[in-house]
């Protein structure tokens, strides 16, 4: 193996993969628009009540109550979710990928020739785990946690990691330990910082993993086998591999930062054989 050429191929691959991961979470876990509207409605009701109190009439209070009841009655009960299935490395759309929802039969589709997908009628305010698969000859399966908001979503990106990228990463890790292997009967978890500037974040995975089955990324954007720190703003992630397939709740992740408060957006997550699970971490700057 020509190590110099491998490094030249691998580090750009890591960078492009990270770009895909950064894009993958943009539509998820933002404050639902319904919550914003509810807060605004409360403020308006208080203001209206104050004005009416000065005038001495109860008419406005009755109207406000009626409006609130109407809003509640007309809240969406079915949400349309759509977006694109993309390759983490090339960012190109993946045609013909199966998209479904774990343990929710009836919500299935196949991405079109551009990689676009759409699933109608999903329940709002619900945590789900999208499964992306059906193309094992080229890609590992993907598990994408998401919280369905109270309004339609048209840009929820789903992604898959290619067999080629997995092999390239493995080659780079084997330069640190030639005994490192990737077991295709096990799962992979990628812990990704939503804020790339939150370098210095330390990842704790429970139960503790054996050496040779996880890595961080250093300040030079290189993987560090058995490392628990994310020190790269270009590649803000940490990876565990060869995970036993398990239901949500079997594994847990926590992230600590010397200056920031970090939150695991989906702390309970499943792993499946030959699937990559994305775990997003929110580490906003201190106010």
Question: Which residues face 242 on adjacent strands?
Answer: none
Q: Which residues pair with 190 in a beta bridge?
A: 239, 278
β-strand partners of 204: 254
DSSP 104-138: -TT--EE--TTSEEEEEEEPSSEEEEEEEES-TTT
Of the candidates 220, 133, 208, 160, the one whose C-alpha atom is nearest the C-alpha of residue 20 is: 160
Would you list the domain boundaries of the chain? 176-282
In which band, very low, low, confident or very high, does the pLDDT at 216 lie, cut at 50, 70 and 90?
very high
Indicate the SS3 state at residue 87: strand
Interval 4-52: pLDDT, tens: 333 334 444 444 344 334 334 333 333 333 333 223 333 333 334 344 4
Q: How confident is the model at residue 215 (pLDDT cuts 50, 70, 90)?
A: very high
Of all helices (H) and strands (E), which one includes residue 280? strand 275-282
Sign of the torsion formed by the C-alpha atoms of 174, 180, 184 and 190: negative
The predicted model scores a pTM of 0.76
The CATH number of the domain covering residues in 176-282: 2.60.40
Asked if the model's pLDDT at residue 223 lies above 80, the reply is: yes
Give the burial string for 174-191 (b: 16+ CB within 10 Å, else e).
bbeeeebebeeebbbbbb
Q: If you average pLDDT over residues 189-209, what whole number do you get?
A: 97
Closest to 129 (Cα-Cα) out of 109, 111, 143, 142: 143
pLDDT in tens, 58-76: 444 444 454 444 444 566 7
- Taking the C-alpha atoms of residue 124 and residue 102, their distance in angstroms, rounded to an integer, is 16
Bridge partners of residue 132, in order along the sequence: 99, 142
Confidence band of 286 (pLDDT split at 50, 70, 90): confident
pLDDT score of 88 = 80
Strands 116-122 and 158-160: unpaired
pLDDT tens-place string over residues 160-187? 999 998 998 899 999 999 999 999 999 9
pLDDT of residue 73: 52
User: Which residue from 112, 111, 164 is spatially nearest to 138, judged by alpha carbons?
Assistant: 164
- 87-144 pLDDT per residue, tens: 987 889 999 999 999 999 999 999 999 999 999 999 999 999 999 999 999 999 999 9
Q: Out of 85-94, 128-137, 143-152, 211-220, which region has the weakest mean confidence (pLDDT)? A: 85-94
């Amino acid at each position: 193996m020509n190590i110099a050429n491998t490094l030249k191929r691998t580090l750009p691959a890591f960078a492009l993969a990270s770009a895909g991961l950064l894009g993958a979470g943009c539509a998820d876990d933002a404050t639902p628009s319904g919550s914003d509207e509810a807060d605004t409605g409360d403020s308006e009701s208080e203001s209206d009540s104050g004005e009416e109190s000065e005038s001495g009439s109860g008419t406005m209070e009755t109207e406000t109550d009626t409006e609130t009841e109407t809003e509640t009655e007309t809240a969406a009960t079915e949400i349309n979710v759509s977006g694109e299935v993309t390759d983490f490395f090339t960012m190109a759309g993946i045609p013909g990928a199966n998209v479904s929802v774990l343990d929710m039969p009836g919500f299935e589709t196949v991405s079109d020739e551009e990689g676009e997908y759409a699933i109608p009628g999903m329940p709002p305010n619900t945590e789900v785990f999208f499964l992306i698969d059906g193309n094992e000859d080229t890609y590992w399966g993907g598990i994408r946690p998401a919280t369905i908001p109270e309004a339609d979503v048209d840009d929820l990106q789903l992604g898959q990691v290619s067999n080629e990228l997995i092999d390239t990463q493995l080659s780079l890790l084997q330069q640190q330990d030639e005994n490192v292997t990737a077991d295709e009967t096990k799962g992979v978890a990628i812990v990704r910082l939503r804020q790339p500037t939150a370098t210095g974040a330390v990842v704790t995975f429970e139960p503790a993993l054996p050496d040779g089955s996880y890595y961080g990324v250093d300040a030079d954007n290189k993987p560090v086998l058995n490392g628990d720190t994310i020190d790269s703003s270009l590649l803000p992630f940490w990876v565990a591999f060869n995970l036993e397939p398990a239901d949500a709740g079997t594994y847990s992740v926590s992230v600590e930062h010397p200056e920031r408060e970090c939150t695991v957006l989906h702390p309970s997550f499943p792993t499946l054989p030959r699937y990559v699970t994305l775990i997003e971490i929110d580490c906003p700057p201190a106010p």
